[in-house]
Amino acid sequence: MIKKIDKFIHRVIFCTVVVAVLLMLSLTVFNIVLRWFNTSVLWIDPFVRHLVFLSAFLGGALATGENNHIRIDILSKLFESIEKPNLKKWIDRMVVLVTLITTLFLTKAGYDFSLVELEFGKSVFLGIHSGALVSIIPFGMGLISFRFTLNLLLTFTEDVTREEIDG
């Protein structure tokens, strides 16, 4: 069940990244072509910047789901080299747990920042408030936290299924 939820979320995020990148490219090319005719659409540049920002967080969520994110896990590599698989699994789980806690704190900080921006911010472009735009931060970090939660849960379910198969 957890694996199905993870795959569904992965597909949604991947499709969103593809749409965002295509939108960024097409809007940027459109604005460049308009500049040849000494005109441009003013809201395209800030919109594309925020799409880049959103794409970065979505890419982080994709990397987290595929376990391709940046990590420093010397202990895990050590226990893998001395062939202690159970100890390695628990070290890996602890690393995911610590990372999950860290991303939850960052999600909360991003949420607090969004609240401040909603209170004191202003309209940036097309009537969109700056608080709505910086809400990309807690949304993105929350999505990454959710993917780490699923990763943590999957480490336990994979063990159960392996034990059932072996036992």
Compute the Cα dihedral for 44, 47, 51, 53 and give only its sign: positive
CB 134 within 8 A of CB 114: yes
- Per-residue pLDDT tens for 46-82? 999 999 999 999 999 999 888 877 666 676 677 677 7
> Domain residues of the chain, as ranges?
2-166
pLDDT at 83 over 80: no
* The predicted structure's pLDDT at residue 134: 93
User: Distance between the two ends of the chain, CA-based, in angstroms?
Assistant: 22
- Per-residue pLDDT tens for 115-158? 999 999 888 888 888 889 999 999 999 999 999 999 899 888 86
Distance separating alpha carbons of residues 103 and 142, to the nearest angstrom: 7
pLDDT at 24 over 90: yes
pLDDT, mean over the chain: 86
